[in-house]
Amino acid sequence: MDTAIKSLGQAGYRFQFGETVVYIDPYLTNYVQEMDGEEMHRLVPIPFSPDEVVDADWVLISHGHIDHCDPTTLLPLSRASRTCRFVCPGEVGQILTRLGISEQRIFIAREEWLTLDGELHVRPIPAAHPDIERDSTGLLRYVGFVIEYQQCRMYHSGDTSLEQTILSILQELLPIEIAFLPVNEKNFYRAQRGIIGNMSVREAFQMATDIGVKTLVPMHWDMFSPNSVFPEEIDLLYRLIRPPFKLVMRPEGL
């Protein structure tokens, strides 16, 4: 797969598929800290400011939480990349239109293939955060994305726990070579602080094994101290469990 990948922290990535640049869940400010307090300061430096993103062709947004759908990132990004388009759940589309982004640039995530450019296609699928939810029109509130380029597929789950529905859909979309899965487990103490959480490291490893990926990129472990995972913990479990895939903490080398 002729793809260049840059990690932006949390669940954010920049992908270059040939001549087409796709961002997923970019968080490029300190907005979460401003909204939720000092303990939610960034642990990952801002790689570049939103108004420097002049190369975006598409921006995929998995759901409306501000570490994935940051208005102070998305509005200046939309102005810097004036022709970029957005794929997102319906309620995220409403957020974007309230920011002043034209509806003509917004594609609501539906459970079907959407062609982004030539050989590049995306298929939104359900995410469970913590459950699969739909809005009043039946559209998903939380999504992940299966991306196909040059007949190879990767999966970015967005924020999700593991449900059989998701596994069953992915089984129909195999083979998938690379999976980007969250590992910031949900637990009692995080829930007490209003943090939903996602899969544990062990769950993500088993899911990656079940869908037969060649490479797992763990995500959602590095941005905020109250919602983080030690990379040493991820690496230790990988060495002890010895799952049948390659573990890549930062995908720049893929």
User: Residue 119 burial (CB < 10 Å; 0-12/13-18/19+)?
Assistant: middle
Q: What is the pLDDT of residue 254?
A: 77
Please compute the mean of the pLDDT values over residues 42-64 and round it to a whole number: 99
pLDDT tens column, 196-242: 999 999 999 999 999 999 999 999 999 999 999 999 999 999 999 99
Residue ranges in 84-230 assigned as alpha helix (H): 90-99, 164-172, 188-192, 201-210
* Contacting residues for 48 by C-beta, under 8 A, at least 6 apart: 28
Confidence band for 253, pLDDT divided at 50, 70 and 90 = low
* pTM, full prediction: 0.97
For the record, the structure tokens of 61 come out as: 């947004």
CATH number for the domain including 242? 3.60.15.10
Q: Taking a C-beta distance cutoff of 8 angstroms, is the pair 88, 69 a contact? A: yes
- The backbone torsions φ and ψ at residue 81, rounded to the nearest 5 degrees and listed phi first, read -105, 85
Q: Which amino acid is at 168?
A: S
DSSP E strands: which ranges in 2-97?
Answer: 3-9, 12-17, 20-24, 58-60, 85-88
Confidence band for 3, pLDDT divided at 50, 70 and 90 = confident
For the record, the structure tokens of 30 come out as: 């300190």
Q: State the total domains in the chain.
A: 1
Range(s) of the domain holding residue 76: 3-253
CB neighbours of residue 95 within 10 Å: 18
Mean of the per-residue pLDDT values of the chain? 97
